[in-house]
Amino acid sequence: MYSKLIILNFPPEVAQKAIVCQLTKKYDLLFNILSAKISNQKEGYMVLELSGTKSDYNRGVRYLKNQGVTVSTPEQQIFKDVEKCTHCGACTAVCPTEALYIKRPEMEVIFDKEKCSICELCILTCPSRAMGLFSEHTETAL
């Protein structure tokens, strides 16, 4: 059985549709939702573990892309630049997996990489740009 983590980004026009359920029905794939969120603008993202035969996986991913869903893989990791972090806590408010949280009573922002789903919301939210992407292939910050 082939299994892979994928990150799906849904534009507003398809965020409310039951697209992911079709992966099981039409393509005989199993999915485990690791993280999901729909924003106020009705855009959405989802991190899935997708399992099945490699052929069914490829057909399922093609289906998602044909529906307007952006599909990517977590070949990058989120990192926290401790020198830039001001511990404002903005990132903790958007982190769906609680990989970023405030340690009390110190009021220090802690980053637990093991819980990170690589949704990248912290990067967009961080005012001091302390959160970033690290590519495993190039081993350099992006």
Residues 66-94 have pLDDT tens digits of 999 998 877 667 889 999 999 999 999 99
Nearest to 9 by CA among 62, 48, 45, 50: 45
> pLDDT by residue (tens digit) across 17-44?
889 999 999 999 999 887 787 777 788 8
Contact 42, 106 (CB under 8 A): no
The CB density around residue 104, as the number of other CB atoms within 10 Å, is 7
How far the first Cα of the chain sits from its last, in Å, is: 33
Closest listed residue to residue 7, CA positions, set 64, 79, 91, 58: 64
Residue owning tokens 């398809």:
14
Assessment of whether the complete model's pTM goes beyond 0.95: no
Q: Which domains does the chain have, with CATH numbers?
A: 2-72 (3.30.70.260), 76-135 (3.30.70.20)
Distance CA 31, CA 24 (A): 8
